[in-house]
Amino acid sequence: MTPRADFYRTYSAAQVDAIAEALGDRAEFPYELTYLGDGSEMWHRSEVPSGPERAEMLGDFDTLLTRHAERLRALAPSSPVQVVDLGPGTARPVGGLIRHLLDESCLSGYRAIDISAEILGLAGERLREDFPDQAERFEFCRGDFTGPDLARVLPTPEGPGHDDGGPARLVILAGGTLYNFAEPDRVLRHVRRAMSDRDVLVLTLRIDTGVDRPPFMDEVSVGGPYKPQQLAGLDLLGIDRSWYVPETGFDRVRGEVFVRVRFVEPVTVDFGAADGRRAVAFQPGDTVLVWRYLYEDAAAVADRLARGGLRVRLFEHGRDRQVVLVAATPSGEAPEPRVRNP
């Protein structure tokens, strides 16, 4: 089988290659690419919570930045500050922080970078609606912040475009985005290298508090739970949902919650790659990972940041204690050399 026509409309040639490589080499669909195309709409819709517990957790993700806006501003050594949002989603969580900084007359600007044009469109729409007089302060950049595109929104202190006397930057990585990557330490070091000593990194995450752990921690749960957008990439490949069964579980070695699919039919996807045809084949019983989330406790989060050359300055729980806001500033220690995740 070949991918659907909208697969090639949704992804650039480089992204098609990255998908073929991830499927072939590590049996994974890169989750960040499910935010493009139809996936953005599914993601947007799923922001509407489906049960009271979920509503509380989503509420925390949306309000933590607002509740601690003044303390975040105070961590920046100068005023005004610039907000640099890495993966803004629909920009819902960052609105209250922007409002606070505007009320205090200390917002120098807001820049967002997202891999998905559709998501950036949603973020722009929301911010222009909420702040109709401030449109000129908002900049939106389509790109991958885990690579060189980061410099377009967060020029490094020694690189072009950085003004040493410019505003301190609040660098936001909200909604657990950092912990979705296969190599969060690599991404963290990349962001840290772009930060000056005056910048503040702000994360919101779901952590392991030892209570209310997901029920599938001990045993893989066949059939879910999963979110429809986690399957959006496979939909675009033309892989019918009846050809596999989703599984949700916990990988003890990596410390990650995951969603993967297990094929019940043989499936071969043919990519018309520039360097000749490339096919990826799966047999019944084979799996493809579609979502991962590092699930670790507060001490492990702080250790990870320390290894990345950052010192925790603020660690606040939401009403649901599993949702936290963490703010960290450069520690003066160089990030530890790269260690690959197991």
User: Contact residues for ligand SAM (CB under 6 A)?
Assistant: 32, 35, 61, 87-89, 93, 113-116, 119, 144-146, 174-177
CB of 69 to ligand SAM, least distance (A): 15
CB of 270 to ligand SAM, least distance (A): 27
CB of 166 to ligand SAM, least distance (A): 23
User: Cα-flanking dihedrals φ and ψ of residue 171, to 5°?
Assistant: -100, 115
Q: In this complex, which beta carbon is closest to ligand SAM, that of residue 243 or of residue 315?
A: 315
Q: In this complex, which beta carbon is closest to ligand SAM, that of residue 248 or of residue 267?
A: 248
CB of 267 to ligand SAM, least distance (A): 26
Q: In this complex, which beta carbon is closest to ligand SAM, that of residue 10 or of residue 177?
A: 177
Q: In this complex, which beta carbon is closest to ligand SAM, that of residue 44 or of residue 262?
A: 44
- For ligand SAM, the nearest residue by Cβ is 87
CB burial of 173-200 (b: ≥16 within 10 Å; e: otherwise) equals: bbbbbbbbbbebbbbbbbbbbbbbebbb
CB of 158 to ligand SAM, least distance (A): 23
Q: In this complex, which beta carbon is closest to ligand SAM, that of residue 32 or of residue 282?
A: 32
CB of 77 to ligand SAM, least distance (A): 25
Q: In this complex, which beta carbon is closest to ligand SAM, that of residue 116 or of residue 322?
A: 116
